[in-house]
Amino acid sequence: MKPVAFLYLSRSDVLATGINMAETIAIIETSFKAFGWGQFECPPKPGVHPQPDTYIHAMPAYLPAKGAAGLKWISGFSGNSKYGLPAVMGLMILNDVTTGQPLAVMEAGWLTAVRTAAASAVAARYLARKNAAVVGIVGAGTQGYTHALSMAEVLPGMQLLKLFDVNRDILDKCIGTLKNKLPGLVIESVDTAHRAIEGADVVITATSKLSQPVFSKQWIHPGALVLPIHTGGWDRDTPFYVDKFVVDYWEQFRNGQQKKGAYYPSLPPVYAELGEIVVGDKPGRENETEQIMNHNYGIGIHDVAMASAIYERA
């Protein structure tokens, strides 16, 4: 019997593959198409929650068109900074679809950060105003940073980026890095979340998970697209207030909202899954004044698609 061998890829190994944000967005858009066409296997993610407002999720998925299957084991502990650890950590396992043999085990923190931002970029491509010029981001950590990069890829009319974070050091560091990465963009530091959100064509709330509302639906500009990274933070009736409420995976969203302690008081009316819009089964933005909110909780097929691309280049 042959020995079973697999490739182990550290974070530095993953980064060395050189997959950039534009490529990541293309990979994620293709997997959204597979989702929209029903060409996938991806059960809603189960999880355990060792501490309040923490999670450890298992995210298995299979993409027939890619010939790829695997599982991401990912944790989110927002208080990890006091231990000198990232808030999000995980491992990705990629399997051979003919034999089931593990092909690779790789660090999944970077993969998660960029594919999350890429999913938001796909949403912006289909749901933002045609000439969206102003992007407001609340939260200047990893997700705030990667989302700034992803928005710059898909919004050709983007002129101004407004950033806010409660931690001034993190905010200053993020802005300094972004000014080097995006030299043609005006990047403005603002002193409140309200100022970051008001007047923005695309709003991204990239904070840690919030259990209470701190963002008012009244701050949403006519025609704005709102992209929360987590459920919490917005007025609890915001999904009912906007013109369209879109999710990445209806069954997964529904399951989350049926759990004890769910953020929204009742299940919001979902206009469409993003994959339906990407493949043209439902229209996305239909006028320049629609207010649209899109929740992307994260789909395992995105992780498998990214892991497959990383493995091919490693």
Per-residue model confidence as pLDDT tens for the chain (314 residues)? 888 889 999 999 999 999 999 999 999 999 999 999 999 999 999 999 999 889 999 999 999 999 999 999 999 998 898 999 999 999 999 999 999 999 999 999 999 999 999 999 999 999 999 999 999 999 999 999 999 999 999 999 999 999 999 999 999 999 999 999 999 999 999 999 999 999 999 999 999 888 899 999 999 999 999 999 988 899 999 999 999 999 999 999 999 888 877 888 888 999 999 999 999 999 999 999 999 999 999 999 999 999 999 999 99
Chain region(s) in the chain for CATH 3.40.50.720 = 129-298
b/e burial code for range 66-80 (CB count within 10 A of at least 16 → b): bebbbbbebbbbbee
The span from the CA of 78 to the CA of 104, in Å, is 28
Q: Distance (Å, rounded) from C-alpha 197 to C-alpha 40? A: 36
Using an 8 Å Cβ cutoff, are 106 and 312 in contact?
no
How far apart, in Å, are the Cα atoms of 96 and each of 5, 12, 24, 57? Answer: 12, 23, 22, 22
What pLDDT is attached to residue 210? 82
Q: Give the DSSP letter of residue 120.
A: H
Domain 129-298 coded CATH 3.40.50.720:
yes
Contact 205, 147 (CB under 8 A): no
Domain with CATH 3.30.1780.10 in the chain: 7-111+301-313
| C-alpha dist (Å) from residue 235 to 86, 166, 215, 268, 292 | 28, 19, 6, 13, 15
Architecture of domain 7-111+301-313: 2-Layer Sandwich (3.30)
* pLDDT score at 160: 98
Element (H, E) at 270: none
How would you write 186-198 as a 3-class SS string?
Answer: EEEECCCHHHHHC
The CB density around residue 1, as the number of other CB atoms within 10 Å, is 3
Contact 163, 190 (CB under 8 A): yes
Residue 2 confidence (pLDDT) = 83
Q: What angle, 0 to 180 degrees and rounded to 10, lies between the N-to-C axes of helices 142-154 and 109-127?
A: 40
Residues whose CB is less than 8 angstroms from the CB of residue 266 and which lie 6 or more positions away in sequence, other chains included: none
Beta-carbon contacts of 65 under 8 Å, excluding residues fewer than 6 positions away, are 34, 39
Task: Look at residue 277 in the predicted model and tell me its pLDDT.
Answer: 99
What per-residue confidence (pLDDT) applies to 262?
Answer: 85
The CA distances from residue 180 to 172, 177, 184, 243, in Å, are 13, 5, 9, 37
Provide the pLDDT for residue 211.
83
pLDDT of residue 265: 86
CA 223 to chain centre: 21
Judged on CB neighbours under 10 Å (0-12, 13-18, 19+), 216 is middle
Residue matched to tokens 């709102």: 226
